[in-house]
Structure 1
Amino acid sequence: MKKQINLLTMLLVIPALSLYSCENVHFADGRTGTYVNDASSGFSIAHDTLVVEQGRGNTWLLHRKTGFQMIVNGKPGRHLYETEECTATADPNTGVLTESRNEKVIEFPDQNSMTVGKRLYRRLN
Structure 2
Amino acid sequence: MKNLREKQGKNRDTQMLSWAARMLYIGALVALIVLIGIQQSCNSSKPFSGTYINSAGSEFSLANDTLVLEQVEGNQYRIHRMTGYRLISDSGRLGSYRWEKEEWFAVYDPEREIMSEKRHGKQISFTADCSVMTVGRRAYQKIN
Match runs of 1:88-99 below 5 Å: 88-99=106-117
CA RMSD of aligned residues (A): 1.9
Q: What is the distance in 2 between the residues matched to 1:69 and 1:105?
A: 27
Deviates more, 1:34-43 or 1:54-63: 54-63
Partner of 1:5: none
Bigger helix share = 2
Rounded to whole Å, the distance in 2 between the matches of 1:105 and 1:51 is 16
> Structure 1 residue 33: deviation in Å?
0.7
SS in 1 for 2:62: strand
- Structural mapping, 1:1-125, within 5 Å: 22=41, 23-25=43-45, 27=46, 29=47, 31-73=48-90, 74-111=92-129, 112-125=131-144
How does the TM-score come out when normalised to structure 1? 0.77
Q: CA deviation at 1:92?
A: 2.1
C-alpha deviation, 1:56, in angstroms: 1.2
In structure 2, stretches of 5+ residues that fail to align are 1-33
SS of 2:127 mapped into structure 1: strand
- Count of matched residue positions in the alignment of Structure 1 and Structure 2: 105
Name which structure has the greater RCO, CA cutoff 8 Å, separation 6+.
Answer: 1
Q: Can you list the C-alpha shifts for 1:22-60, whole angstroms capped at 9, x where unaligned?
A: 2443x2x2x111000000001110000000111112211
Q: Kindly indicate which of the two structures has a greater share of residues assigned to strand.
A: 1
Give TM-score scaled by structure 2 length.
0.67
1:10 aligned residue: none
Please state whether the residue corresponding to 1:77 is helix, strand or coil. strand
Distance 2:124 2:93 in 1: 33
What percentage of residue pairs aligned between the two structures are identical? 40
